[in-house]
Copies of this chain bind each other. A is one copy, B any other.
């Protein structure tokens, strides 16, 4: 954790413990600097960040004070329970609209979960790409047949090692993004008509994939802080022939939860006992706000039932489409599917990402990205407290860049989407995240935008629209 983050945590702790109340003056820059043993500019940075997040406010010629909203921790949204149903994605045109809006510069981009290039290490990656083109011109234009470029697999194996997870270079297959990793894994372990358990809500691309594969979805009640309700899953598996389970274990899309390690372990043990594969899509794990990266479920996999998927789309470059799958006991079948489906992933982007990872630039750029996302997620939560109706609930993720917002029960997220679009603001309606059209009064908000594009005005506008919709106007 950075020093100014430690200062922020100290203040946050003082507020939650009651040592500081709304309206109280916080310790002066000089005093906090002495107490915490850090420079005055570090304290200043922490206070400015906290002001940005709405926890503190600066009063001219006086100092920083705790705001009235600082303790308004919004409540987390509720869980839903469901039964197995053929998977289908509601409003399929909406799906395309969300993505097409992501590319438009005239739209405030709170919709698609696409990180802004302003956050990404574009220059460093392009430098690495040029380097590899100069060094290996013939190789970059040649096939890199599956399992893919070895140097990249070495870097990925190293990353698993850092997470205390034993994954060998030869257990990894490079894919064209994590979606392909998931698709290959899911096709390998299911047949049309099979039942697959997913979190509720879950990422709509998972539902879309399942629909394409003709699968049935059972949506498992999911806690906004700890993830899938494992007792509920256990019960479902008693009565239903679940062929696979899909989870986004860390900073889930859209709820933002992180499964505690003991839950991950229990989940893996439960499924190992039943010989049911677990597909994990751990694409946000590197974007943790705290000190430690959360573990992948793979860490607890002793029998090879976890199919672990990841990619560099959220933290290096979405457009490079570099992902991977560690298929465990399904390695051979997944490899064959990859060969059959598109022969190989492009070589240039694989080599460029490997080169970028080897240079050490990735770890450095991650620090910057994490700090920026933590700040923005905090600020957007503050904006929601300030400007949305008081019944609004919002999640509190410890990483990633997504917030899930439960609006007053009579407000339709779909209607809000339509109204907001008229004001050039894009959000994602909650109904997209459930095959059963739950979450009608929810929306998902992307905080990975370019910080110059989103101002307080946006949330004032959204707040007004929500209040209008709540009144049935």
Query: Could you tell me if A318 and B141 are in contact, using CB atoms closer than 8 angstroms?
Result: yes
A247 within 8 A of B: no
List the B residue with the shortest CB-CB distance to A321. Answer: B346
Among A288-318, those with CB < 8 Å from B are 317-318
A179 within 8 A of B: yes
Query: Could you tell me if A179 and B209 are in contact, using CB atoms closer than 8 angstroms?
Result: no
A319 within 8 A of B: yes
What are the interface flags for A300-342 relative to B under an 8 Å C-beta threshold, 1 for contact and 0 otherwise?
0000000000000000011111000000000000001101111
Query: Could you tell me if B92 and A120 are in contact, using CB atoms closer than 8 angstroms?
Result: no
Contact of A208 among B95, B142, B336, B346 (CB under 8 A): B336
- Min CB distance, A271 to chain B, in Å? 24
Query: Could you tell me if B141 and A340 are in contact, using CB atoms closer than 8 angstroms?
Result: no
- Min CB distance, A368 to chain B, in Å? 16
What are the interface flags for A122-160 relative to B under an 8 Å C-beta threshold, 1 for contact and 0 otherwise?
110110011001000111111111000000000000000
B residues less than 8 Å from A337 (CB atoms): 212
List the B residue with the shortest CB-CB distance to A333. Answer: B212
A183 within 8 A of B: yes
Query: Could you tell me if B141 and A120 are in contact, using CB atoms closer than 8 angstroms?
Result: yes
Stretch at the interface among A5-13, A96-104, A376-384: A96-104
Task: Give the complex CA separation of A140 and B209 in angstroms.
Answer: 26
List the B residue with the shortest CB-CB distance to A112. Answer: B143
Which of A140, A142, A205 is packed against the most chain B CB atoms within 10 Å? A142
A117 within 8 A of B: yes
Copies of this chain in the oligomer = 2
Query: Could you tell me if A341 and B142 are in contact, using CB atoms closer than 8 angstroms?
Result: no
- Min CB distance, A179 to chain B, in Å? 4
Query: Could you tell me if B141 and A122 are in contact, using CB atoms closer than 8 angstroms?
Result: yes
Contact of A99 among B145, B340, B349 (CB under 8 A): B145
B residues less than 8 Å from A340 (CB atoms): 179, 183, 205, 208-209, 211-212
Contact of A176 among B143, B205, B345 (CB under 8 A): B345
Contact of A346 among B117, B120, B141, B176 (CB under 8 A): B176
A344 within 8 A of B: yes
A424 within 8 A of B: no
A114 within 8 A of B: yes
Contact of A133 among B129, B137, B145 (CB under 8 A): B129
Query: Could you tell me if A342 and B122 are in contact, using CB atoms closer than 8 angstroms?
Result: no
B residues less than 8 Å from A123 (CB atoms): 137
Query: Could you tell me if A344 and B321 are in contact, using CB atoms closer than 8 angstroms?
Result: yes
Contact of A341 among B117, B212, B346 (CB under 8 A): B212
What are the interface flags for A189-229 relative to B under an 8 Å C-beta threshold, 1 for contact and 0 otherwise?
00110000000000001001101100000000000000000
B residues less than 8 Å from A126 (CB atoms): 133, 137, 140-141
- Min CB distance, A126 to chain B, in Å? 5
A175 within 8 A of B: yes
Task: Give the complex CA separation of A96 and B145 in angstroms.
Answer: 9
Query: Could you tell me if B137 and A122 are in contact, using CB atoms closer than 8 angstroms?
Result: yes
Which of A126, A180, A319 is packed against the most chain B CB atoms within 10 Å? A319
- Min CB distance, A103 to chain B, in Å? 7
A342-B130 contact, Cβ under 8 Å, with A141-B318, A145-B99: no
Query: Could you tell me if B129 and A114 are in contact, using CB atoms closer than 8 angstroms?
Result: no
B residues less than 8 Å from A336 (CB atoms): 92, 208, 212
Query: Could you tell me if B209 and A317 are in contact, using CB atoms closer than 8 angstroms?
Result: no
A348 within 8 A of B: yes
A185 within 8 A of B: no
Query: Could you tell me if A102 and B177 are in contact, using CB atoms closer than 8 angstroms?
Result: no
15 A-B residue pairs with Cβ-Cβ distance under 8 Å, sorted by A, are A92-B336, A117-B138, A120-B141, A126-B140, A129-B348, A143-B319, A176-B342, A177-B344, A179-B343, A183-B340, A192-B192, A205-B339, A205-B343, A321-B346, A348-B348
Besides A92-B336, A100-B145, A180-B342, 9 other A-B contacts (C-beta < 8 A): A126-B133, A129-B133, A130-B133, A142-B317, A143-B319, A177-B343, A205-B340, A320-B346, A346-B346
Which 10 residue pairs are nearest across A and B when measured between Cβ atoms? A319-B347, A180-B342, A141-B317, A212-B340, A321-B346, A179-B343, A117-B138, A176-B342, A209-B340, A143-B318
